């Protein structure tokens, strides 16, 4: 089938024409969706009706190998029995709302900082696919930042300075500075990873800033100098002209490319209202490796 895209922001993000992703099997349609991801960075699909397995199956068809090494897997046993289906919710195993002091909740508060998924792993996350199964009666938006538009807007001197730099990403670091510490045993499973600061992804010739709250320091520079540069770049990349907010409706699926966007959760009264979403993130492997890893 032919897929069309309606732009949601002047530089990125689009809503996809009516489609039931459970039944999208053909390469022709999947290739159009991947091309849409390369162009827009964020795609919104309305009225999806996934079971857990159907969401996992679609993610695999769309992009191959799935990420199962998430920080939430380190903190608690997954209530779905599959670590590739990340539980983005404020409820526990029994379905009741987590207490304010629950470690899973306290750790997840840091998802309200700008980040990209699994940048502290190698391979990192490529696409994240977040599906709304239960939403609160109040706004609980997810915001996205266009990291290619942010790169384009840098001056030539800054671009030349940062093009060859590498960044160490660590969730142990990003959670620690927010006041949450993993145990020694947990930290041992979260070693962090190094990635280029500027990236080019397949399907688009444009460069992108690869940043996240997890970005701890720049490999080639002294730590304080690197942190200052990272703070400046984060401030630059999250200016209002680069940001788009998604207001969730039930059964929305939003897919974003972690290499060309950052995102953050906005706060809501999560002690009062339930919010249950499931996320599948794919591995950022070179395309030719995906088929063998899937
Ligand atoms: Fe995230």
Residue 294 lies in a domain: no
Q: Is residue 72 predicted with pLDDT exceeding 80?
A: no
Kindly tell me if the per-residue pLDDT of 292 is higher than 60. no
Residue 203 forms part of a structural domain = yes
Q: pLDDT, tens digit, for every residue of 145-189? A: 999 999 999 999 999 999 999 999 999 999 999 999 999 999 999
| pTM score | 0.95
Res 108 pLDDT > 60: yes
Any domain includes 147:
yes
Burial profile 174-207: b = 16 or more Cβ within 10 angstroms, e = fewer: bbeeeebebeeebbeebebbebebbbebeebebb
For residue 112, report the distance from its CA to the centre of ligand 1, in Å.
9
Would you state the pLDDT for residue 207?
Answer: 97
Residue 293 in domain: no
Q: Assign residue 13 the CATH number of its domain.
A: 3.60.130.10
Which domain range does residue 199 map to?
A: 5-285
Q: Find the mean pLDDT for residues 95-117.
A: 94
Other C-beta atoms within 10 Å of 61: how many?
17
- The verdict on residue 123 lying in a domain is yes
In this model, does residue 277 exceed pLDDT 90?
Answer: yes
Task: Look at residue 243 and tell me if it is in a domain.
Answer: yes
CA of 133 to the centre of ligand 1 (A): 17
Average pLDDT, the chain: 94
19 domain residue, yes or no: yes
Partners of 7 in the beta sheet? 14
> What is the number of structural domains in the chain?
1
Question: Ligand 1 centroid to 279 CA: how many Å?
Answer: 9
Per-residue pLDDT, 289: 62
Sign of the Cα torsion 57, 117, 238, 165 reads: negative
Q: Is the pLDDT of residue 287 over 80?
A: no
- ∠ CA(265), CA(178), CA(166), 5° rounding? 80
Question: Distance from the CA of 159 to the center of ligand 1, in angstroms?
Answer: 26
> How much distance in Å is there from the Cα of 255 to the middle of ligand 1?
11
pLDDT for 14 equals 98
Distance CA 59, CA 202 (A): 18
**Residue ranges near ligand 1 (ion) with Cβ within 5 Å:** 117
CA of 117 to the centre of ligand 1 (A): 5
Give CA 128 to chain center in angstroms: 5
Tell me the average pLDDT across 77-105: 91
Q: What is the pLDDT of residues 215-264, one digit of tens each?
A: 999 999 999 999 999 999 999 999 999 999 999 999 999 999 999 999 99
Is 118 domain-assigned?
Answer: yes
Cα 174 to the center of its chain, rounded Å: 15
243/227 Cα distance (integer angstroms): 23
């Amino acid at each position: 089938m032919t897929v069309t895209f309606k732009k949601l922001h002047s530089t990125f993000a689009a809503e996809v024409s009516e489609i039931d992703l459970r039944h999208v099997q053909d390469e022709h349609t999947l290739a159009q969706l991947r091309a849409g991801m390369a162009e827009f960075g964020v795609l919104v699909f309305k009225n999806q009706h996934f079971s857990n397995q159907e969401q996992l199956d679609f993610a695999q068809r769309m992009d191959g190998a799935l990420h199962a090494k998430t920080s939430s897997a380190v903190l608690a046993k997954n209530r779905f029995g599959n670590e590739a289906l990340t539980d983005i919710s404020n409820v526990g195993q029994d379905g009741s709302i987590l207490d304010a002091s629950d470690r899973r909740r306290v750790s997840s508060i840091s998802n309200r900082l700008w980040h990209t998924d699994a940048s502290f792993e190698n391979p990192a996350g490529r696409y994240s696919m977040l599906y709304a199964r239960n939403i609160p009666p109040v706004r609980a938006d997810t915001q996205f930042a266009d990291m290619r538009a942010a790169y384009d807007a840098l001056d030539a001197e800054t671009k030349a300075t940062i093009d060859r730099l590498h960044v160490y990403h660590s969730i142990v670091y990003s959670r620690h500075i927010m006041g949450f510490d993993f145990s020694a045993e947990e930290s041992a499973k979260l070693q962090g990873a190094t990635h280029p600061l500027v990236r080019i992804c397949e399907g688009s010739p444009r460069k992108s800033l690869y940043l996240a709250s997890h970005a701890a320091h720049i490999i080639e520079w002294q730590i304080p100098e690197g942190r200052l540069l990272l703070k400046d770049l984060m401030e630059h990349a999250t200016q209002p002209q680069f940001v788009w907010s998604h207001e969730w409706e039930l059964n929305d699926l939003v897919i974003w490319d972690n290499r060309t966007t950052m995102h953050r959760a906005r706060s809501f009264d999560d002690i009062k209202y339930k919010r249950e979403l499931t996320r599948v993130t794919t591995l950022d492997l070179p395309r030719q490796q995906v088929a063998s890893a899937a």
